[in-house]
Amino acid sequence: MSISPPATRDPGIRVREVSENRGHPVLGALSPSRAGDFLQCPLLYRFRTIDRLPERPGLAAFRGTLVHEVLDRLFDLEPQARDLAAATALTEPALADLLAAEPEAAFALEEDAAWPGPVPEVSEDSRTAVLAQARALLEAYFVMEDPSQVVPEQREQLVEVVLEDEFVLRGYVDRLDSTAAGLRVVDYKTGRSPGPMWEQSAMFQLRFYALIVHRATGRLPHRLQLLYLGNGEVLTYHPDAEDLDRFERKLRALWTAITRAADRSDWRPNQSKKCQWCSHQALCPAFGGTPPPLPGQPDSGSSLTVVQ
Ligand code: SF4
Protein backbone atom coordinates (compact mmCIF):
# COMPACT_ATOMS: atom_id res chain seq x y z
CA MET A 1 0.00 0.00 0.00
CA SER A 2 1.43 3.37 -0.79
CA ILE A 3 0.86 7.03 -1.11
CA SER A 4 3.86 8.57 -2.76
CA PRO A 5 5.44 11.86 -1.80
CA PRO A 6 4.24 14.73 -3.98
CA ALA A 7 5.81 14.90 -7.42
CA THR A 8 8.48 17.57 -7.63
CA ARG A 9 7.39 20.71 -9.41
CA ASP A 10 9.74 22.14 -12.00
CA PRO A 11 8.89 25.24 -14.01
CA GLY A 12 6.27 24.35 -16.62
CA ILE A 13 3.59 21.72 -16.33
CA ARG A 14 3.64 19.21 -13.52
CA VAL A 15 4.97 15.86 -14.65
CA ARG A 16 2.71 13.25 -13.13
CA GLU A 17 4.44 10.59 -11.15
CA VAL A 18 4.32 7.16 -12.78
CA SER A 19 4.10 4.10 -10.59
CA GLU A 20 6.83 1.49 -10.89
CA ASN A 21 4.27 -1.17 -10.01
CA ARG A 22 2.91 -2.59 -13.28
CA GLY A 23 0.18 -4.70 -11.74
CA HIS A 24 -1.23 -7.27 -14.16
CA PRO A 25 1.22 -7.91 -17.06
CA VAL A 26 -1.42 -7.16 -19.72
CA LEU A 27 -4.16 -5.25 -17.93
CA GLY A 28 -2.01 -3.10 -15.65
CA ALA A 29 -3.72 -1.49 -12.68
CA LEU A 30 -7.38 -0.71 -12.22
CA SER A 31 -8.21 3.01 -12.12
CA PRO A 32 -11.62 4.66 -11.77
CA SER A 33 -11.70 5.49 -15.48
CA ARG A 34 -10.62 2.02 -16.65
CA ALA A 35 -13.13 0.39 -14.29
CA GLY A 36 -15.77 2.75 -15.68
CA ASP A 37 -14.80 1.73 -19.22
CA PHE A 38 -15.35 -1.96 -18.49
CA LEU A 39 -18.66 -1.31 -16.75
CA GLN A 40 -19.80 0.75 -19.74
CA CYS A 41 -18.50 -1.60 -22.43
CA PRO A 42 -15.91 -4.42 -22.25
CA LEU A 43 -14.86 -3.75 -25.86
CA LEU A 44 -14.18 -0.09 -25.04
CA TYR A 45 -12.02 -1.26 -22.12
CA ARG A 46 -10.09 -3.52 -24.50
CA PHE A 47 -9.56 -0.74 -27.06
CA ARG A 48 -8.23 1.63 -24.40
CA THR A 49 -6.31 -0.70 -22.10
CA ILE A 50 -5.01 -3.52 -24.31
CA ASP A 51 -4.95 -2.11 -27.87
CA ARG A 52 -4.26 1.38 -26.53
CA LEU A 53 -5.80 2.89 -29.63
CA PRO A 54 -5.17 6.59 -30.02
CA GLU A 55 -8.13 8.91 -29.56
CA ARG A 56 -8.44 12.40 -30.92
CA PRO A 57 -7.78 14.97 -28.16
CA GLY A 58 -11.10 16.59 -27.29
CA LEU A 59 -11.77 20.20 -26.38
CA ALA A 60 -13.66 19.44 -23.15
CA ALA A 61 -10.84 17.24 -21.85
CA PHE A 62 -8.20 19.80 -22.79
CA ARG A 63 -10.15 22.61 -21.11
CA GLY A 64 -10.27 20.41 -18.01
CA THR A 65 -6.52 19.83 -18.13
CA LEU A 66 -5.93 23.57 -18.44
CA VAL A 67 -8.13 24.43 -15.45
CA HIS A 68 -6.53 21.65 -13.36
CA GLU A 69 -3.10 23.01 -14.23
CA VAL A 70 -4.07 26.55 -13.23
CA LEU A 71 -5.60 25.42 -9.93
CA ASP A 72 -2.50 23.36 -9.18
CA ARG A 73 -0.29 26.40 -9.81
CA LEU A 74 -2.62 28.56 -7.71
CA PHE A 75 -1.89 26.35 -4.70
CA ASP A 76 1.85 26.90 -5.22
CA LEU A 77 1.18 30.51 -4.12
CA GLU A 78 0.98 31.70 -0.53
CA PRO A 79 -2.62 31.44 0.77
CA GLN A 80 -3.24 35.23 0.78
CA ALA A 81 -2.16 35.44 -2.89
CA ARG A 82 -4.68 32.85 -4.14
CA ASP A 83 -7.31 35.10 -5.66
CA LEU A 84 -9.18 35.23 -8.95
CA ALA A 85 -6.78 37.78 -10.44
CA ALA A 86 -3.85 35.46 -9.75
CA ALA A 87 -5.70 32.48 -11.23
CA THR A 88 -6.63 34.52 -14.30
CA ALA A 89 -3.01 35.58 -14.78
CA LEU A 90 -1.91 31.94 -14.63
CA THR A 91 -4.13 30.75 -17.50
CA GLU A 92 -2.06 32.06 -20.42
CA PRO A 93 1.31 30.65 -19.30
CA ALA A 94 -0.39 27.36 -18.37
CA LEU A 95 -1.90 27.15 -21.87
CA ALA A 96 1.46 27.87 -23.51
CA ASP A 97 3.20 25.24 -21.35
CA LEU A 98 0.55 22.60 -22.07
CA LEU A 99 0.74 23.15 -25.82
CA ALA A 100 4.54 23.02 -25.69
CA ALA A 101 4.52 19.81 -23.66
CA GLU A 102 1.76 18.11 -25.69
CA PRO A 103 1.71 19.49 -29.26
CA GLU A 104 -1.09 17.01 -30.16
CA ALA A 105 -3.39 19.01 -27.88
CA ALA A 106 -3.64 21.46 -30.79
CA PHE A 107 -6.20 19.06 -32.33
CA ALA A 108 -8.47 19.78 -29.37
CA LEU A 109 -8.39 23.49 -30.11
CA GLU A 110 -8.58 23.22 -33.90
CA GLU A 111 -11.60 20.97 -34.20
CA ASP A 112 -11.75 21.25 -38.01
CA ALA A 113 -8.20 19.90 -38.48
CA ALA A 114 -8.08 16.39 -39.96
CA TRP A 115 -6.98 13.78 -37.44
CA PRO A 116 -4.69 11.92 -37.61
CA GLY A 117 -2.59 14.33 -39.61
CA PRO A 118 -0.02 17.08 -39.24
CA VAL A 119 -0.36 18.97 -35.95
CA PRO A 120 -2.29 22.16 -36.77
CA GLU A 121 -1.22 25.67 -35.87
CA VAL A 122 -3.33 27.01 -33.01
CA SER A 123 -4.98 30.26 -34.09
CA GLU A 124 -5.23 33.34 -31.88
CA ASP A 125 -9.03 32.97 -31.96
CA SER A 126 -8.80 29.41 -30.60
CA ARG A 127 -6.41 30.48 -27.84
CA THR A 128 -8.63 33.39 -26.89
CA ALA A 129 -11.72 31.18 -26.84
CA VAL A 130 -10.25 28.46 -24.62
CA LEU A 131 -8.72 31.04 -22.25
CA ALA A 132 -12.12 32.70 -21.89
CA GLN A 133 -13.77 29.34 -21.18
CA ALA A 134 -11.12 28.45 -18.61
CA ARG A 135 -11.47 31.83 -16.89
CA ALA A 136 -15.25 31.42 -16.66
CA LEU A 137 -14.71 28.05 -14.95
CA LEU A 138 -12.18 29.61 -12.58
CA GLU A 139 -14.71 32.32 -11.68
CA ALA A 140 -17.17 29.56 -10.82
CA TYR A 141 -14.50 27.88 -8.70
CA PHE A 142 -14.02 31.01 -6.59
CA VAL A 143 -17.74 31.09 -5.85
CA MET A 144 -17.55 27.49 -4.62
CA GLU A 145 -14.58 27.74 -2.29
CA ASP A 146 -11.99 30.18 -1.01
CA PRO A 147 -8.56 28.69 -1.78
CA SER A 148 -6.87 31.01 0.73
CA GLN A 149 -8.60 28.97 3.46
CA VAL A 150 -7.66 25.56 2.06
CA VAL A 151 -4.73 23.59 3.47
CA PRO A 152 -3.78 20.93 0.91
CA GLU A 153 -1.70 18.01 2.14
CA GLN A 154 -1.15 16.71 -1.39
CA ARG A 155 -2.02 17.74 -4.92
CA GLU A 156 -2.17 15.77 -8.19
CA GLN A 157 -1.25 12.84 -6.04
CA LEU A 158 -0.65 9.28 -7.23
CA VAL A 159 -2.35 6.91 -4.80
CA GLU A 160 -2.25 3.16 -5.19
CA VAL A 161 -2.86 0.00 -3.24
CA VAL A 162 -1.86 -3.58 -4.06
CA LEU A 163 -4.75 -5.81 -3.05
CA GLU A 164 -3.14 -8.91 -4.52
CA ASP A 165 -0.03 -9.60 -6.60
CA GLU A 166 -1.56 -8.53 -9.91
CA PHE A 167 -4.54 -6.62 -8.59
CA VAL A 168 -3.51 -3.01 -8.11
CA LEU A 169 -5.87 -0.08 -7.62
CA ARG A 170 -4.50 3.24 -8.76
CA GLY A 171 -5.72 6.78 -9.09
CA TYR A 172 -4.61 10.39 -9.16
CA VAL A 173 -6.29 12.60 -6.60
CA ASP A 174 -6.54 16.32 -7.40
CA ARG A 175 -6.27 17.40 -3.76
CA LEU A 176 -6.08 15.92 -0.28
CA ASP A 177 -6.88 18.56 2.38
CA SER A 178 -6.37 18.65 6.12
CA THR A 179 -9.54 19.95 7.76
CA ALA A 180 -10.65 20.15 11.40
CA ALA A 181 -13.03 17.26 10.70
CA GLY A 182 -10.34 15.10 9.06
CA LEU A 183 -9.03 14.27 5.62
CA ARG A 184 -10.95 15.69 2.66
CA VAL A 185 -10.52 14.46 -0.93
CA VAL A 186 -11.36 17.00 -3.64
CA ASP A 187 -11.64 16.42 -7.37
CA TYR A 188 -12.41 19.17 -9.89
CA LYS A 189 -14.79 18.53 -12.76
CA THR A 190 -15.02 21.12 -15.47
CA GLY A 191 -18.35 19.90 -16.80
CA ARG A 192 -21.80 20.16 -15.22
CA SER A 193 -23.00 17.94 -12.40
CA PRO A 194 -24.23 14.59 -13.70
CA GLY A 195 -27.73 13.75 -14.77
CA PRO A 196 -29.17 10.32 -13.97
CA MET A 197 -27.06 8.62 -16.69
CA TRP A 198 -23.77 9.69 -15.10
CA GLU A 199 -24.55 10.06 -11.38
CA GLN A 200 -23.78 6.42 -10.64
CA SER A 201 -20.41 6.78 -12.41
CA ALA A 202 -19.61 9.84 -10.28
CA MET A 203 -20.46 8.01 -7.03
CA PHE A 204 -18.41 5.04 -8.24
CA GLN A 205 -15.43 7.35 -8.70
CA LEU A 206 -15.86 8.86 -5.22
CA ARG A 207 -16.00 5.43 -3.59
CA PHE A 208 -12.95 4.34 -5.59
CA TYR A 209 -10.93 7.32 -4.33
CA ALA A 210 -12.16 6.77 -0.77
CA LEU A 211 -11.13 3.13 -0.88
CA ILE A 212 -7.60 3.68 -2.22
CA VAL A 213 -6.91 6.59 0.12
CA HIS A 214 -8.17 4.56 3.10
CA ARG A 215 -6.29 1.40 2.18
CA ALA A 216 -3.11 3.30 1.21
CA THR A 217 -2.92 5.62 4.22
CA GLY A 218 -4.97 3.85 6.88
CA ARG A 219 -6.97 7.09 7.19
CA LEU A 220 -10.68 7.05 6.43
CA PRO A 221 -11.42 10.29 4.58
CA HIS A 222 -14.04 12.36 6.35
CA ARG A 223 -15.50 13.66 3.12
CA LEU A 224 -15.03 13.40 -0.66
CA GLN A 225 -16.16 16.14 -3.00
CA LEU A 226 -16.52 16.48 -6.72
CA LEU A 227 -16.61 20.20 -7.57
CA TYR A 228 -18.56 20.69 -10.81
CA LEU A 229 -17.30 24.03 -12.07
CA GLY A 230 -19.62 23.85 -15.08
CA ASN A 231 -22.68 24.64 -12.94
CA GLY A 232 -21.28 25.32 -9.46
CA GLU A 233 -22.62 22.14 -7.84
CA VAL A 234 -20.85 19.81 -5.43
CA LEU A 235 -21.34 16.07 -5.14
CA THR A 236 -20.36 14.90 -1.66
CA TYR A 237 -19.79 11.48 -0.14
CA HIS A 238 -19.08 10.66 3.50
CA PRO A 239 -17.56 7.18 3.47
CA ASP A 240 -17.80 4.63 6.24
CA ALA A 241 -15.66 1.54 6.67
CA GLU A 242 -18.49 -0.92 5.99
CA ASP A 243 -19.47 0.78 2.75
CA LEU A 244 -15.84 0.65 1.62
CA ASP A 245 -15.59 -3.05 2.50
CA ARG A 246 -18.67 -3.69 0.35
CA PHE A 247 -17.18 -1.59 -2.43
CA GLU A 248 -13.90 -3.49 -2.28
CA ARG A 249 -15.83 -6.75 -2.74
CA LYS A 250 -17.55 -5.18 -5.75
CA LEU A 251 -14.18 -4.20 -7.25
CA ARG A 252 -12.80 -7.69 -6.68
CA ALA A 253 -15.78 -9.12 -8.57
CA LEU A 254 -15.22 -6.59 -11.34
CA TRP A 255 -11.54 -7.51 -11.55
CA THR A 256 -12.48 -11.20 -11.78
CA ALA A 257 -14.79 -10.37 -14.69
CA ILE A 258 -12.05 -8.36 -16.43
CA THR A 259 -9.37 -11.04 -16.05
CA ARG A 260 -11.85 -13.69 -17.21
CA ALA A 261 -12.59 -11.63 -20.32
CA ALA A 262 -8.83 -11.33 -20.92
CA ASP A 263 -8.25 -15.07 -20.44
CA ARG A 264 -11.00 -15.83 -22.98
CA SER A 265 -10.22 -12.90 -25.30
CA ASP A 266 -13.92 -12.18 -24.97
CA TRP A 267 -14.46 -8.42 -25.16
CA ARG A 268 -18.08 -7.85 -26.08
CA PRO A 269 -19.51 -4.54 -27.18
CA ASN A 270 -22.24 -3.15 -24.96
CA GLN A 271 -24.18 -0.64 -27.00
CA SER A 272 -25.70 2.26 -25.09
CA LYS A 273 -26.45 5.97 -25.41
CA LYS A 274 -22.83 6.60 -24.42
CA CYS A 275 -21.64 5.12 -27.76
CA GLN A 276 -22.19 8.57 -29.27
CA TRP A 277 -19.00 9.70 -27.46
CA CYS A 278 -16.95 6.60 -28.36
CA SER A 279 -14.04 7.21 -30.74
CA HIS A 280 -13.99 3.60 -31.93
CA GLN A 281 -17.35 3.06 -33.62
CA ALA A 282 -15.59 2.26 -36.94
CA LEU A 283 -13.95 -0.79 -35.28
CA CYS A 284 -17.00 -1.86 -33.28
CA PRO A 285 -19.19 -4.80 -34.41
CA ALA A 286 -22.23 -3.03 -32.96
CA PHE A 287 -21.70 -0.41 -35.70
CA GLY A 288 -20.67 -2.83 -38.47
CA GLY A 289 -16.92 -2.63 -37.79
CA THR A 290 -14.30 -5.27 -37.07
CA PRO A 291 -11.87 -4.96 -34.14
CA PRO A 292 -8.18 -5.35 -35.01
CA PRO A 293 -6.48 -8.60 -33.95
CA LEU A 294 -5.50 -8.50 -30.31
CA PRO A 295 -1.89 -7.46 -29.74
CA GLY A 296 0.27 -10.58 -29.68
CA GLN A 297 -2.10 -12.56 -31.92
CA PRO A 298 -1.16 -13.57 -35.50
CA ASP A 299 -1.49 -10.67 -37.96
CA SER A 300 -1.60 -8.12 -35.19
CA GLY A 301 1.72 -6.70 -36.31
CA SER A 302 2.74 -5.93 -32.74
CA SER A 303 3.97 -7.70 -29.67
CA LEU A 304 1.89 -8.10 -26.51
CA THR A 305 1.10 -4.76 -24.97
CA VAL A 306 2.42 -4.29 -21.48
CA VAL A 307 0.44 -1.62 -19.69
CA GLN A 308 2.55 0.67 -17.58
S1 SF4 B 1 -19.23 2.12 -29.94
FE2 SF4 B 1 -20.29 1.59 -28.05
S3 SF4 B 1 -20.42 -0.64 -28.09
FE4 SF4 B 1 -18.84 -0.06 -29.54
S5 SF4 B 1 -16.89 -0.07 -28.43
FE6 SF4 B 1 -17.67 2.00 -28.33
S7 SF4 B 1 -18.82 2.07 -26.42
FE8 SF4 B 1 -18.55 -0.08 -26.95
55 lines ligand 1 (CB under 6 A): no
Query: Cα 207 to the chain's mean position, in Å?
Result: 15
The pLDDT of residue 195: 79
Atom of ligand 1 lying closest to residue 44 CA: 5
278 lines ligand 1 (CB under 6 A): yes
The pLDDT of residue 231: 94
User: Cα(202) to centroid of ligand 1, in Å?
Assistant: 20
The pLDDT of residue 308: 29
User: Cα(259) to centroid of ligand 1, in Å?
Assistant: 19
- The answer to whether 173 touches 152, Cβ cutoff 8 Å, is no
- The answer to whether 294 touches 300, Cβ cutoff 8 Å, is yes
Instruction: Judge whether residue 107 has pLDDT over 90.
Output: yes
Of the candidate ranges 6-20, 64-78, 91-105, the one whose mean pLDDT is the lowest = 6-20
Instruction: Judge whether residue 17 has pLDDT over 50.
Output: yes
| Atom 4 of ligand 1: nearest residue by CA position | 284
Whole-angstrom CA distances from 43 to 148, 236, 289 are 44, 31, 12
The pLDDT of residue 303: 37
The pLDDT of residue 20: 79
268 lines ligand 1 (CB under 6 A): no
The pLDDT of residue 306: 32
pTM given for the model: 0.88
Atom of ligand 1 lying closest to residue 278 CA: 6
Tens digit of pLDDT for each residue in 188-204?
A: 999 999 877 677 888 89
Probe target for ligand 1 pocket from 34, 37, 40, 41, with the most ligand atoms within 8 Å of CB: 41
Tens digit of pLDDT for each residue in 261-306?
A: 999 999 999 999 999 999 999 999 999 999 999 987 655 444 333 3
Tens digit of pLDDT for each residue in 112-151?
A: 999 999 999 999 999 999 999 999 999 999 999 999 999 9
CA distance 177 to 182: 8
Q: pLDDT averaged over the chain?
A: 91
